Structure 1
Amino acid sequence: MGNETATVPPGSLPELLADLEALVTCESPSQDLAAVARSADLVAAIGTRRLGVEPERLVLDGRSHLRWRLGTGDRRVLLLGHHDTVWPLGSLADHPFTIEHGVLRGPGCFDMLAGLAMAFQAVAALPDPDGVTLLVTGDEELGSPSSRELIEGEAKGCLAALVLEASADGGALKTERKGVSRYQVTVHGRAAHAGLEPERGVNASIEAAHQVLAISALADPAQGTTVTPTVLTAGTSSNTVPAVATFAVDVRVRNVEEQHRIQAAMLALRPVLPGASLDVEGGPNRPPLERAASADLYQRAGRIAAELGLGRLAEAAVGGASDGNFTAGVGTPTLDGLGAVGGGAHADHEHVLIAELPRRTALLTALVAELLGTDRHAVPGGEDARVTSGVDRP
């Protein structure tokens, strides 16, 4: 590829840590378009340095995404990640980038900036990356409103989509993710003086209470379906019968049939109080990533991990969604959770275990090489990924 870093063994630790520090210290909250644009500049520079190829920069609805299409052959493997985070500007003041006792900390390091650093190293180590697409989006934490069609378009026809989101507990790969639906229910009643003539009103709060109970009852724990009313507001003053109430509903499902059942039930809601009316907005946001979409890739990854001396790879079903839901939704085999091992996504204790970075990168490199039809043993460092780390930095 005309880049000397292409011969660096997968998971080369100094390069991984240097790239990850740069990414973490360039804050990229999803809602701040300027910050995400600055982050995209940095990601593009790091990727160009590691891969020897500049990305396409795709700005959709003001949000910055990057795409590397490597080689000229058919698109076969999609590597998918995002560079936006949930951390607001200034978070570094209270959560600085640190490395101590083999643990790396900093806002967004686990979710999922470490995955980006790993992806660049893995692709750079491939003897021939022809057929690989690396897509890095800038709005995943918002539900991917501008990048969904881009993700689905890149995934269609690929042999596999490999998602660089962080692993589940203990390094488990994510072979199942629940689908997500989101709704906003607005209840319309009629205002009246609460003390003088409440009977002339139609109490939107009471109607909302009826609807919240009815909606909650749609959950099916046996199926893994959760239906959770969340933020609720009603009324304008303490002495007025509320004329309007609104509440949000979060739905998580394990299969498409359940997602359709909840959708039909939400659209069939009817008011209980005479004179009240309802508006229901929203619907499915992400389809489920069902285990069938991950099974073959998980088996491949497990075999490769054993050959590399990485031990047994566990798998996990998780309630949170990712862009892997979209790739699975268009029929592309998808394996998620290939990124960092650590914990604390979106939380004060967010962290990455340094010793696992080169090991997981070696796994990713070998998996991509196999999907491309490349001999794993032709990959630099592919024969042995046993790595230890005693890196300590204040």
Structure 2
Amino acid sequence: MTAMEAMQRFEEILRGYESLKNPKYKEADLDTLKREYEELLQIRDHVKVDPRYQNLVNGLSQVIRRLELNVHGAPESNWRTVSERGVNKAIVPVVRKRNQDKESPFQWTEDKTGQTCEINKGLWGCRNFMAMDVLGYILLLKEGKDILPKENAPLFENLESISRREKELDTGKVPKPSNPSDAESPDIERIRKERYFIKFTDRDFRKFTSVDLNSNEIMNLLLETSRVEFKIVFPVRLLESKTAKEKSYRMNMFSRPFEFGYLDKEIRSDGVVVCREYYVSFNTLLGEMLAHNLLTKNYDWLDHSFYQLPQSAQLLYRRFLLNNNFPRITLNLQTIADKINLQDKNRTNLVRTIEESALQPLVKQGLIDRYEKNDGLDGIKFILYRTRKVKPTEEIST
């Protein structure tokens, strides 16, 4: 195909796309859009200089994604879960560097306060964030008796009350977390007596994530997540006046996110456990601040399909997009690398990773509309565009 023929075909596809009324997915034909999308990729070298090209590719991929969900999505594919804001804002991912012991502490400086934050005794990535989403959602359903609570139910009144609670935990006035138990034991009995505890099975975990993990994988994920220790600046939603306001609490001691135990419920004849029942208690400082935020409605919504995204896409979305409603966000290359802990020192590779593993998947899933990459005096910057974030009951129009 010649350059002229490619441009003519590009204009034809563009006119057809622009002729669709909004929301476009209600008028579009999935097979036609897929065919045109592939054509656009094939003629890319001839038309990529046209600024409309990338916008058209992004738009088509978003509509295709929406149509595919309508065609293939089972009833539960529209299920959403909540994601507590403090965890997404305060915790950075920790990956194992070459020749580094995973038990080694990881430190960084919190932007607003300038305080040093630390993560110890483990790594932290997408699966750990997902586990916290599930536990938080189950807590809300338990407190609301199978629906999300309508009224705020704060654990803390102000920062001083959090400080007092931290001192109580530090002086041993409450039991400290122990290792999880695989049998009916005093530990599980104690967890059951905690004010904020939840009970669930492997089947519940899979239902709330649509991720196919076996019982051992779920148990190990919860174990690894529960063992990580944090000393961080954590944002807490406080109701000190008529309007709620988020304030930062600087933790003075390390805290784990929760304590848990489990029971083996179903065991195959060969001894393999196929189903466990878990008991989780938010009886640590970090766990109680997390429960407080959830019970004061300091959370956002995630579709199950989010957990199928590449790790870089999940981390970028949590860190920069989930907690706000801005239609346009500008991020420089180094900020992205620092906040989602990308280790590659080669700038070309780093840009490729961000585009191919983060931004393009976010566009394809419809979490952002499009993005631009600019290389100026201050280095490479990415500009992310999206439509207004909607409530779970609202329909997203494309």
Structure with bigger helix share is: 2
TM-score (norm 1): 0.26
**1 or 2 for the larger relative contact order (CA 8 Å, sep ≥6)?**
1
